[in-house]
Amino acid sequence: MNIERIKGIIIEQIKGIHDFSKLELSSDWFQKTPSPDLGDLAFQCFPIAKQMQKNPQEIAKKIENYLSSNKIDYVEKVKAVGPYLNFFLNANEVIEAFISGITYEQSKEPKKIMIEYSSPNTNKPQHLGHVRNNLLGMSISQILEHQGNKTIKVNLLNDRGLGVSKVIYAYLYLAKEKEPNKKPDHFVGDLYLLFNKEVKKRPELEQEAQRILKRWEENDEEVISSWKKIRDFVIEGYKETYKKLGCLFDKEYFESEIYKEGKEIVMEGLKKDIFKEKDGAVIAPLEKYGLPEKVLIKSNGTALYITQDIALAKKKFEDFEIDYSIYVVASEQELYFKQLFKIIELLNIASSDKLYHLAYGMILLEGGKMKSREGNIVDADSIIEELERLALSEVEQRYPNLSEEEKKERTEKIAISALKFYILKVDPTRDILFKPKESISFQGETGPYLQYTYARIKSIVRKSGMNSKDIIKNIDLKCFENDECIEEKAIALLALEFPSIIEKAAESLKPSLLCRYLLDFAQLINSYYHDKRVIGEDKEVMKARLALLLASSEIIKKGLWLLGIPVLEEM
RNA sequence: GGACCCGUAGCCUAGUUUGGAUAAGGCGACAGCCUCCUAAGCUGUAGAUCCGGGGUUCAAAUCCCCGCGGGCCCGCCA
C-alpha cells in the first residue's frame, strides 16, 4: 500500500456523489494538515467549487455529509473545516498497511535513458565540483532504475584539447620528474599548475600549447607518446577516486576517438549550408534561434569540445537506441547546451525534447569559484581522506577494541556517507557555498545520522533475540490499541509517502527530495525509540514495535541506497 | 551591454513547479536528559520586515512588473 492509493480510494468515494460524476477530480488536491489534531489528510475544495461555481465551504460540508454515511477503507472520520475536508485515518489500518508492505509504483512506459556524467578533463585530479557531478549521476540513475527504467551510465573522458595540451607541454619541456611521485592524477595536476604558473611569466606559452594540439592532431610521435602516458596516469588515479565514490559506468567514450567523426559531420553540415565559414573557421549561425553563433572548427583546423560532442550525440542514439539522453554538467554550461541541442536538432540527429541538460549548481568556496588552473580547489581525494581520519577517531573513541578491519569498514562507510549526504541534500540546481566545518560534521542533518538511526534499529532487533521472519509473522495490531498510537501512526503515514517521494525525485531529477524525506523520517524514528521501549515490554507489544521498526529500517536502507549511501548494521 | 539562476532567523537549507489553514528542519546560542534497547541521540527556549516596492487574487514566501544585492555565462577553453 501507499498514500497515493489511499488518496485514490477516497477520490473514488467522492466521485460517488451524484452531481460530482462529471467533475475532474485530482489527488493533487490533497495536502498535509498543518497539525495532526486537524486530521491526517486534507482535501481542498477550492477546485471543485470553481468547477461548480459554488462556495468551497458548502462543497466541503456536502462531501462530509455524504462520506460520513459509509465506511471508507483507511478512513476513521471526515470533518469539514472551512473549505477543507479533513480526513482522520484509522491508525491500525494505516500501521498495518505499512508493516505488511509498501507498494512501489513502476513506470508504465519504461524508458531507456542515457546518463552522461562525470566526464572529466584528463589533465587534473577531480575536485568537489566533480564529486557533485559524480554523486548526482549515480544517484539519479539508481532512482530512475528503481522506477523501472533502463539506464546507461556513460563517462566521456575529455582526453583531448588545450588543457591536455598544456599538460603535455609541461611534461615535455618544463618538468624534471617524468614519473609520478604521488597519486598519478595529482602528479598530472601539478604539471597543469606548473604550466599556468609559467604562462604568467611567458605568455607565448599559450601559442605553444596550441602548437602541441596541432601536433597532436597530426599524430606527432613525441606528443602522442607523452599524451598516452599522461592520460594513463590520470585514468589510473581516477579509478581510485571513482571506487571511493562508488561510481560505475556502463560505457566510456574518449573524446580523442570521436573528434574526427565530429569534424566530418561538421564539414557535411557546411556543405549542406547548415553551417557557415567565417574568418577561416566553421561556425553554426544560431541567431535565428536567439542564440549566439558557435565556432565548431577553429581556423587552424583543429577541433573543439563541441565538435566531438556532436558526433557523440549521434553515436549515443545509434549505439544504444535510447529514448532520452541526460547530460549531467554544471550550470555554467547552460548556454553551451542550448547551442549544442539546437545544432543536434538542425543536423537531424535527435529532436531536442530527447535531450536534457541536468544543470547543477556550482560549489563555491569562501573566495569564489573553484579554479583548477589556479589551484584554489577542494580536491576530492583529500576531503575523503580528511573525513576518514575524523570518522576513525570517532569510531576509536567509541569502540577501541574493534578489529582494524572492522574499524576500517565503518570508517569508510561513515566518511563517504557524510560527504555524499552533504552534497546530495541540497537541491541540484542550487549553488553550494562550501563550509568546511559543516561538510565534515557527523551530527544533525547528515548521512551518519541516518546510518545511526538504521544501526540502532538493527541493534534493538538483535537484542530482542528474535529473527526478522518471526517478528513479521502474525503481528497482533490490537496491542497498539491500548494507547492511541499517535507516534506509530505518524511513522506509518510518512512511510506510506515514500513511493511518491521517489517518484518526485525521479521526475524532477532531484535526489535532494529523498534526502529531506529521510531526515524527516529518521527524526520520527529517533524520537519514537527514545520514548517507547521495545525490549522488556509485553511480548505482543514488543513484536508489534519491532515490526514497525524493522519496516522503518527498510525505508532508510532503500532511501540511502538510492542515494548511493551504504548502511551499517552496527555503528 | 545581453541571457539564465538565486535572495526565507546569526549561519546553512526545505517550502516556490500546481497560490490555500499557525513559514519547516539543521548548525550555532541557552536550559535540560546517559543506574533506561547505541548521547553520531532526545526534549525544551530564544531567534523571520520570506531582499525592497508595486500589481493580480477571496487568498501571495509561491504568480506578474520594477528596483536592489549576489552567482554564472556570452572565448577559435573544456
Strands (DSSP E) contained in A321-468 are: 324-330, 355-360, 363-365, 368-369, 432-433
Q: List, for residues A287-330, the tens digit of each pLDDT value.
A: 999 899 999 999 989 899 999 999 999 999 999 999 999 999 99
Domains and CATH numbers, chain A: 3-89 (3.30.1360.70), 380-562 (1.10.730.10)
For chain A residues 241-260, those near strand B by a CB cutoff of 7 A are 255
Residue nearest to nucleotide B59 (CA to C1'): A46
pTM of the model: 0.95
As a whole number of angstroms, the distance between CA A187 and CA A93 comes to 61
Tell whether the model's pLDDT for residue A23 goes beyond 90.
no
A295 touches strand B (CB under 7 A): yes
Q: How far is the CA of A444 from the C1' of B44 (A)?
A: 17
- Mean pLDDT, residues A430-439 taken together: 87
Q: Is the CB of A413 under 7 A from strand B?
A: no
- Evaluate whether ipTM surpasses 0.90: yes
The x, y and z cell numbers of residue A434, run together, are 562550501
Spacing of A443 CA from B43 C1' in Å: 17
CB of A535 nearer than 7 A to strand B: yes
H helices of A54-183, in order, are 56-68, 91-99, 128-146, 162-169
As a rounded value in angstroms, the CA-to-C1' distance for A450 and B37 is: 18
What residues contact A230, with CB distance under 8 A and at least 6 apart? A122, A123, A164, A167, A168, A171, A188, A191
- In degrees, to the nearest 5, what angle opens at C-alpha A459 toward C-alphas A457 and A460? 65
Nucleotides of B strand lying within 7 Å of any protein CB atom: 2-6, 11-15, 17-18, 20-22, 25-28, 36-38, 40-43, 58-59, 71-78
In this predicted structure, which of A51-55, A63-67, A450-454 has the lowest mean pLDDT? A51-55
**CA-to-C1' span, A343 to B17 (A):** 28
Which tens digit of pLDDT belongs to each residue from A507-516? 999 999 999 9
Q: How far is the CA of A224 from the C1' of B19 (A)?
A: 61
